[in-house]
Chains A and B, each alone.
Chain A
Amino acid sequence: MATQQTQLLARTLLTPAVALLFIWMIVPLALTIYFATLHYNLLDPGSESFVGLENFRYFLTDPAFLASLQNTLVLVGSVLAITIILGVPLALLLDQQVVGLSIVRLMVIAPFFVMPTVSALVWKNLLMHPVSGLFAWIAHLFGLPAIDWFNDAPLFSVILIISWQWLPFATLILLTALQSLDEEQKEAAEMDGASAISTFIYITLPHLARPITVVILIETIFLLTVFAEIFVTTGGGPGLQTTNIAFLIYSQALIQYDVGSASAGGLVAVVLANIVAFFLVRIVGRNLEA
């Protein structure tokens, strides 16, 4: 883009794509804002009327909102903690030279390629089912009563399923980072008399700071909007125990047929996601600066 002419050409050529993306973004946003100011219930057609910010007041004062906000944060935080705390040692193990490593790596990474609905169904019906599940069978082997996972520990069960899906992602990112760690640095640490644990703490972990940041950022974006796993397994219940913001908006729109309130909820979720993103970038973004 050296001359003004090429700059103009570049802008002209980019315009259609940018315009299309802009329309793609602005039309749904504008419609959502518009619906959020209406009394608009699908069960009561023809009664649409302007209600101002009434939908927001209704959504924000709903006790379900605070409960689902809390569930969302617990879910995101727990899955992040589990995937990173287990991902680091797993990546360290996979970085070793072992026979059949390529197959082991493939198996470890496989859960990431299973679609969320399928993995949630597999967990629900084959593993965690209190009568026919594998976990129940194992519990019986030891003479223990079977656990009814989705009734006794519903949020924990959902966290377990989602962690299982995201652990490969964290492991994969951390593994590639480990492979880029300079071999001579480890040898220098060895010459300096560092034990395996010291090498891990002083050399490997600081080297992983940046990929861990990347994992946190990317996982947070996706985990804030988890839906399929909850829909398939618990349907947000029992009560509100596994309802997160995304599921709450869904239930407003398609269980209570209240489009106005759901739109207001959607906008609240956008604002919340931006607040989280703001703090996240402030806290971990420093790590990304070279």
Chain B
Amino acid sequence: MGQITLQGVQKSFGPVHIIKGADLDIADGSFVVFVGPSGCGKTTLLRLIAGLEDVTGGAILIDGRNVVDVPPAKRGLSMVFQSYALYPHMSVRGNIAFGLKMAGIARDEINRKVEAAAATLNLTPYLDRKPRELSGGQRQRVAIGRAIVREPKAFLFDEPLSNLDAALRVQMRLEVTRLQKQLGTTAIYVTHDQVEAMTMADKIVVLNGGRIEQYGSPLELYEKPANLFVAGFIGSPKMNFVTGEIAKQQGAATIGVRPEHLKVERDGQGGWHGTVSVAEHLGSDTFLYVDAGPLGMLTARYVGELDLHPGDRVSLIPDPARIHRFDDSGKSIHA
């Protein structure tokens, strides 16, 4: 079991409030991603759950038991650190076994568990090597091995893929997701990369300035962002925001349209007119950055190749069903 509940969790460092009251329900076996810009408090929140920081207020419940006064090792969680934090003088075997050894488990059982974990992660040939003799991806797997061998109630990942190169990151992303599904253990994963968040998560927590902006499945966040921040943060390229007269006609202070929901027409009628300032041709997609005069810069995405060049006049027609409307305070208006 690994059900984690946060009730009004707060954290301050002196006068600085890092977490301003977080309420969250994480179901057993789910993969939850904390995402947000730098300094939003996502790592702090993870460390509070881990017990590496003390909460200033509120309660953290693991399987219904309040653990705010329980030391980290007794919470039954294990953590994968950004720097991996492998013990450099111990072999891979020693690294994975360390937690079990500290728990005073018999040597035979430790060996059995370490070898099982190593087999799951394809680390068996490297068991007697030192961390410095391993590649980045292998070190990452050792760190994960150290986490799974203790059979924790939940895994905590602190930006574990940020030190890997792009290709390896995609591969490890898949491996971590598959492993988590296979083990069925609750996982909390912190990242600033919204692509990681969208692809890995069952549910995403979007954090900003120490507050939870929205908690929901990736597609919920994409289709029904709760406010301007979530709308701008989720999705790539970013959502276009338009204020002023056009928004007022729709009964909103701001309206937002995603680049992929803007239809591009050359010299077309209707819609919003503008001049292409930059065109990015990727083959599979074409991204257009259009100077739309009073509306500002708009981004449009066209699937496939579109033969447009800087200086060309285009019109952009928003899909009326996919216009997001926001009120004065930035909150989403649902019809």
* Chain A residues within CB distance 8 Å of chain B: 182, 184-185, 187-195, 198, 202-203, 206-207, 209, 290
Contact = CB atoms under 8 A, between A and B. Distances in A.
A209 B88 CA distance: 12
A21 B64 CA distance: 75
B89 A206 contact: yes
Contacts of A182: 83, 85
B321 interface: no
Contacts of A188: 79, 81, 85-87, 146
A209 B90 CA distance: 13
Interface string B86-98: 1111100000001
A202 B50 contact: no
Task: Report the contact-size class of chain B (Cβ under 8 Å from the partner).
Answer: 20 to 34
B146 A192 contact: yes
B99 A192 contact: yes
Contact of B98 (A187, A194, A207): A194
Given A182-B83, A198-B102, 19 more contacts: A182-B85, A184-B81, A184-B82, A185-B86, A187-B81, A188-B86, A189-B98, A190-B52, A190-B72, A190-B73, A191-B72, A191-B78, A192-B73, A192-B98, A193-B73, A193-B103, A202-B87, A202-B90, A206-B89
Most buried by B among A192, A193, A194, A207: A192
B77 interface: yes
A13 B88 CA distance: 43
B87 A185 contact: yes
A187 B87 contact: no
Nearest to A185: B85
The 5 closest A-B pairs by CB, nearest first: A193-B73, A192-B99, A184-B85, A188-B85, A206-B89
Contacts of B99: 191-193
A193 B89 CA distance: 19
Contacts of B88: 207
A192 B88 CA distance: 15
Contacts of B50: 191
B79 A191 contact: yes
Interface of B: 50, 52, 71-74, 77-79, 81-83, 85-90, 98-99, 102-103, 132, 146, 150
A192 B98 CA distance: 7
B146 A187 contact: no
A209 B132 CA distance: 17
9 contacts: A182-B85, A184-B83, A185-B86, A188-B86, A192-B98, A192-B150, A193-B73, A193-B102, A290-B132
Contacts of A192: 73, 78, 98-99, 102, 146, 150
B86 to A, nearest CB: 8
A194 B85 CA distance: 14
A290 B89 CA distance: 11
Contacts of A184: 81-83, 85
B306 to A, nearest CB: 47
Nearest to A203: B87
A193 to B, nearest CB: 3
A192 B146 CA distance: 9
A206 B98 CA distance: 14
A188 B79 CA distance: 7
A185 B72 CA distance: 14
A290 B78 CA distance: 30
A169 B275 CA distance: 70
Contacts of B90: 202
Most buried by B among A187, A194, A209, A290: A187
A187 B73 contact: no
Nearest to B103: A193
Contacts of A198: 102
Contacts of B82: 184
A187 B85 contact: yes
A117 B87 CA distance: 44
B97 to A, nearest CB: 10
Given A202-B98, A207-B89, A191 B83 contact: no
A94 B103 CA distance: 30
Contacts of B83: 182, 184
Most buried by B among A185, A191, A207: A191
Contacts of B71: 190
Nearest to B99: A192
Contacts of B73: 190-194
A277 to B, nearest CB: 26
A214 B88 CA distance: 19
B99 to A, nearest CB: 4
Contacts of A194: 73, 98, 102
